[in-house]
C-alpha cells in the first residue's frame, strides 16, 4: 500500500510538472505571437497613427480583399487588435 501511495504521489507531482511546463510554453508562444504581430504592425503603419489604412495594407504587399475581412469594426482602418485577431485566426486554421 505504501508503494502505491508513493507511486501515486510521484505521478501526480510529475503530471503537475508537465502541465506547468506546457502552460509556460503556451504563454511563451502567445507572447512571441503578440510581439511579432506588434513589430509587423509598426512596420506596415507607415504614418504611425496606430491604424493601418487600405493604402498601407496594399503597399505592404497584402491582398486588398482581405482588408475588409480583417476590419472588424468597419472603421476603414486596422487596429493592432484587429490584426492580432486575424493572425490568431490564421494560426488556428492552418
pTM of the predicted structure, to 2 decimals? 0.75
Angle at 76 between CA 34 and CA 63, to 5 degrees: 65
| CATH no., domain 25-92 | 1.10.238.10
pLDDT band, residue 86 (cuts 50/70/90)? very high
Whether 15 has a pLDDT exceeding 60, the answer reads no
- In 3D space, the residue among 68, 65, 71 whose CA is nearest the CA of residue 83 turns out to be 71
Amino acid at each position: 500500500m505504501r508503494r502505491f501511495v508513493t507511486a501515486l504521489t510521484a505521478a501526480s507531482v510529475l503530471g503537475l510538472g508537465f502541465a506547468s511546463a506546457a502552460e509556460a510554453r503556451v504563454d511563451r508562444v502567445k507572447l512571441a505571437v503578440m510581439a511579432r504581430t506588434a513589430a509587423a504592425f509598426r512596420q506596415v503603419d507607415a504614418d504611425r497613427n496606430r491604424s493601418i489604412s487600405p493604402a498601407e495594407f496594399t503597399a505592404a504587399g497584402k491582398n486588398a480583399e482581405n482588408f475588409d475581412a480583417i476590419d472588424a469594426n468597419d472603421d476603414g482602418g486596422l487596429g493592432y487588435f484587429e490584426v492580432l485577431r486575424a493572425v490568431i485566426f490564421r494560426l488556428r486554421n492552418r
